[in-house]
Structure 1
């Protein structure tokens, strides 16, 4: 694919359309990364630029007291007959408009046009966010270019309807397993039904009372849900195994050990195996740079329900928030679109924050 020419100084709405019109499904971001790298090198001489795989990073070196990092992923989910982009009044339609090429457009425009920010600025456009965590470009950058992730505040351009969603929930998956003894269903008294033995597990889930946790004024609500159940051999066999998969969404005041222990406590007496885990992220809104950003937005921050890459920054000790145009409920849909007024508003907020 020919490398398109991006105009980073253009209206972020037009820039967003150009980004959408350059397909970048996870694992195939090279053309867009090439275009972003070329544009930054040509149009933003005040920035140091680094290429890492299909990620593009840029930063100022002005010697400011604090550094702010703006991050967005370049990749999208598979295209669903929604490229190229199209306009309908103030709505811009297309794959990635919400998740998260609108955020990328705002970040790129700010990076290229703001030559004298009051905080040093780092921007990170990374690859493979929409696929398995092992391929996420932020992990590679952390391993190979850790110094580029140093900051006093990280702002991830995930869609938040141009509001501020602070931190994020952690997520844990576990399998609860019951065992029995097979028998012919005509002589069921000779067996032990593993599915029936799962009843107390479902009772505990039904009676579970989630916590509401207030951190920095953001209320995180936990949840513990059965998301899958499997068992049974045939229509005439008493089953000897049943497995329920549960998902625990937990507030970021719990670390990994505490989250795992909680699940084991809830299902005490049963066979519990943790199969997946990702830590949450504390909002860190009392950090000076974060407090300044909240003041600049004029918004009341809310807790992030769900997991995002702010967790990676929090693990590095960097306060992190989600802030970007777009309705997250529209992400990954065929009619994905963004209200273009939110691109304009988000750009104004970041400019106000970074210029004082």
Structure 2
């Protein structure tokens, strides 16, 4: 039996870009977060101003200073699979950090860890949450598990999720829903195709609906979200000489936070009404919540003009808990999950500076 690896020593008081590199260089693909969770826990336990709690591969650290407000600063510690892009490396001029996790989202995690260690007496009590399995199905999400089994650990007036936003505030998030649209036909020998009905050919009409679909732009609480409806997979057929009697098109709908899950599903069923539709996965959208006083104060403190979050993040979970939440972290989100994932060192430093300014104001 293989012995568990010893925790990696993390310097939370040093350079935040180097801390980002150290975190990235601990392989932590979803489901394999034990080593990075152990390393984070050991590093945080060195700071007596923090109460450190372990729940599975989630690590929670919090201050208990009796402040009037409590905020959550959260980030997931897992990544999508490695693609020959670890260990990390710096560009020759030292301005760009390359490698898996630099964008999504070890830079945001490094910023939160540095804050946890270095800001001993924040103006608000803080709960730092470092959680597992964000990049896989929602049933495994560590933050979701905490919300079900330890909801008291997430109680707060406001939350900041360190997802990549190029160091600007992004409010809310799109919802996401995946459905299977099935076409049916009649199986037959391909030499006598006229005796059957080809379900794959019928899928062309489903693709026509998708090609003709006009994605809406919707303003919600002052931010404009663009929706999207796309085929992301197709399957059908059982052999090279059989006319297929079934074909399934997998469709992903990204919807604005003006819709509930029920409304998103109703919209899809109205589009594909003549076909069998099965919902296979769904996560709700989150409204921006920037009109909450604590959120407005956060925006003033960190600066910049807020924009919408294109994509789904765990701000949606905070929204379901009644906690206003925003995305704010280093890295261009369009580079997340790419083989050439890379993050400007300056953005990591800028996020740390902005959040420190907010927490010490």
Distance 1:305 1:100 in 2: 16
Task: Determine if the alignment matches structure 1 residue 139 to structure 2 residue 144.
Answer: yes
SS of 2:181's equivalent in the other structure is strand
TM-score by length of 2: 0.91
Match of 1:316 in 2: 321
Secondary structure of 2:105's counterpart equals helix
Which shows bigger deviation, 324-333 or 96-105? 324-333
Q: 1:116 and 2:131 equivalent? A: no
**Equivalent in the alignment of 2:7:** 3
For residues 123 and 338 of structure 1, the distance between their equivalents in structure 2, rounded to whole angstroms, comes to: 22
2:154 aligned partner: 149
Equivalent residue in structure 2 for 1:17, among 10, 16, 21: 21
Once the 2 structures are TM-superposed, how far is the Cα of residue 236 of structure 1 from its aligned partner? 4.8
- Correspondence for 2:58: 55
Show the counterpart of 2:85: 82
Which ranges in structure 1 are unaligned for 5 or more consecutive residues?
A: none
From 289, 301, 304, the equivalent of 2:306 is 301
Q: 2:357 aligned to 346, 352, 356, which one?
A: 352
Q: When the two structures are aligned, how many residues end up with a matched partner?
A: 355
Unaligned runs of 5+ in 2: none
Tell whether 2:266 aligns with 1:277: no
Match of 1:72 in 2: 75
Q: How does 1:179-198 map to 2 (within 5 A)?
A: 179-185=184-190, 187-198=192-203
Whole-angstrom CA distance in 1 between matches of 2:239 and 2:35: 51
Of residues 23, 33, 40, the one that matches 2:44 is 40
Please give the per-residue CA displacement for 1:35-83, whole angstroms capped at 9, x wherever unaligned: 22222221x2222111111211011122222211110112223333433
Distance (whole Å) between structure 1 residues aligned to residue 63 and residue 35 of structure 2 = 25
Alpha-carbon shift at residue 328 of structure 1 (Å): 2.2
Secondary structure class of the residue paired with 1:97: coil
1:287 aligned onto 2:288: no
Distance in 1 between the 2:81 and 2:269 partners?
A: 37
On the 8 A contact 1:66/1:289 being kept in 2, the answer is no
SS at match of 1:9: coil
Find the counterpart in structure 2 of residue 343 from structure 1: 348
> Which residue is equivalent to 1:222?
227
Structure 1 runs (4+) deviating above 6 angstroms are none
Deviation at 1:185, TM superposition (A): 4.6
Q: Report the alpha carbon displacement of residue 263 of structure 1 after superposing the two structures with TM.
A: 0.6
Q: Equivalent residue for 2:256? A: 251
SS in 2 for 1:147: helix
User: After superposition, what is the alpha-carbon deviation per residue over 1:178-216, rounded to whole angstroms, capped at 9, x for unaligned?
Assistant: 222234455444333333433433332222222211112
Q: Secondary structure at the match of 1:161?
A: coil
- C-alpha distance in 2, partners of 1:30/1:188? 55
Cα distance 1:181–1:21, how it changes in 2: closer, same or farther (>3 A)?
A: closer
SS at match of 1:300: coil
Other structure's SS at 1:335 match: coil
Q: 1:29 aligns with which of 26, 33, 36?
A: 33
Post-superposition Cα deviations, 1:268-300, rounded to whole Å, max 9, x if no partner, equal 222211121111111111111111111122221
